[in-house]
Structure formats: C-alpha cells, structure tokens
A and B are shown apart, each in its own frame.
Chain A
C-alpha cells in the first residue's frame, strides 16, 4: 500500500515553497535547433485555420498523435514521408513543397527565407482562431510555396 497518504502529501506540500526541482542533463543543444520551424509553424497555422484540435488533426491526416505533437513541438523532429504526404493532402498544399519544407526532400528554393516569414506568433492555443496577421501571413506563404514548386 502506498505511503503517499493524504497526511503525508499535505505535510510535504507545506515544506515546498515553489523551488525549482529540475534534475537531469542540461539542455541538449539540438533542442535549440530551429531547422524545421517553418514547417512546424505552417502546420500549426493551417491546423488553427481549419479549427482542428491536435487529436482531430492527427485523425484527419491519419498520422500518429505523437507525430502531430512532435511536428508542432519539436523543431528538430524529422517526420516520415508518409506523414508529410498525408498532411499535404489534408491541407491541399503541394506535396513537393512540404517535402522540401520539412527537410525530407532536398531544399532547392527555400532556406532562411522561410524562417523570416512572420510565423512567430503561433505557439499558443489548441483550436484558437487565427489572427488577421496570421491569416495573411499564412495565405502569402502558401501562395509562395505553391508557386515555387510549380
């Protein structure tokens, strides 16, 4: 039987003052990588545009929810070809463009120009509506990548 009784928990809670409790390795430099930030921002904005929760997005794209979370939460994550293909079909964005953007296909046209696009404001909310700025930026961006891969 667990010793973490109500009395024990409360006695312990009284001892805590909101200190940091972190133990483990220092941040891995790779975690700072932003190589797929354009891809992750695009997916996050498109998902918001379609008012999809993470679960619904994973279901509609027929991808694993862990993949869906990784795509939006981990800039250094490399999705599979199938995942990117399914997402491009769901969002009706040229497959070739998304393959390049995600880093799967060789990137002939886009490098840092994608990262400079105004996609920084899409880190919050699950099904929040897009702001006007986000919507404009998203539509411009999709138009650019569609044109570049024609």
Chain B
C-alpha cells in the first residue's frame, strides 16, 4: 500500500463508507463532480438536495449498482468494485436498502418478502425464520399484517415492510432512498421515528437520501447538501440552519429563487416569441 493511500484509509478509519473524489454521469450528462463524503459508523447521516442532484445515484454508487467515472468508494476500508461480482455480493450482504417505493416482490406475501433475504442467505430452518420475520415485522409495527399480500397494504405500510426486509440480515449500513416521499403526516411521523429508533437500537450506520428538510433535521446527526453535482454544505442540523451560505439558505428555507434559478436555462422569452429587440 502506498503511503498516500494508507493515509487516506487512516483518515477515514471511523467512516464505514468513504466516498473519495467521485465523479459520475449518465452519457455526457454529469451528475456528480469530484464529490467526497464520509459516513461515520453508527451515525445517522442525511444527504439532501433538490430532485435530480444525484442523491439516489450516490446510494447506487455505494451499492455498486453503477461504477464511478473517477474516484473511489470504500466500504469498511475495502473498495466497492462493481467488476468483482463475488466481492460485491459479499459487501451487499452487509448492506440494507430501503427503496423509494419499497420495491417489494408483488408475488410474495408480507411475510415472504421479509423472509426472502433470510432464505437466500442463511441455512436457518423455517421455524427460526418465522421467529426472526415476526420480530422484524413487530419492530415496524406490522406483525399483524404478515399474511397479507402486497396489493392489500398501503404505501406507508409497504415502506415499513421494505424496512423490515432491509434489516432482516442485521446490516451494518441501512440506506434509505427518499423514505418520506408521498406519505401522509401520520405515516411520515411513524417512518421518521422508526428510522431513528432502528439506528439507536441496532447501532447500524444509517444514510438517508431526502429533500424533506424538517424530517431529516429532526432525526439526523449530520447532513450533506448537494447541488449541481457538488457538496455545497455540510454539518450538523444546527450548523446548517445557522449557515449564511446563499445556496444552503435557499434550500433550507425553501426560497423559490436564489442561486438555484426558478427558470431552466433558456434564451430570453422575447426572442423565443419573436417580439424583436
């Protein structure tokens, strides 16, 4: 190991996931440019930013679903390499991910969805799997819904079933992709509370991608703010709320115009409408 790379690993010793100088884009469209982030063990970290700023892409990069065009991602000191399928799957067994709309298997019941990773990755007997699944469902308040089909549960319930599935194997990191989107106030409160409680109870590192400022600030230890493919702000919720940076202020206060323009870049409207000079 070169001295340079050793110092990098040492510097990120407490970080379960370290993103170092990562750039990524779809075709010619850049999404992330030279982004560096650290996610400390056991903490609940939020990645916030407007829609399309690359938040979900970050989760996909950490999970090795896509490969960065430059830079590297370390999980517990080991590089995430989408090219090495065997090593990647070994890493993914230590991760749990909650997708934006749950991504539950619609041909399976609530019980079987939560049992899925246990049946795939363990040699446990059905009696033991049953006990674990019921405990996980109990943790999200849905033990009574175990026998229901996926079509019979609401969006908020689906999110909680997906959360139970994500924690089935007791992962070291739980990644939440927009966990608050489309939820009614009660479901939103339940979900936010669950995320915080699970983080405290399991000691796992939690990573929330969201644009819901109040909910994230209520439960997270630290937050990054992304805009235009860069990290434009970072700190504790209190630090970010006190920030005078125009970009941070606009996002946190929800101001319609500011550094992030209301208008998508376009020629002057007079020119478009042919109204002359």
The answer to whether A binds B is no
Question: Footprint of B on A, CB under 8 Å?
Answer: none
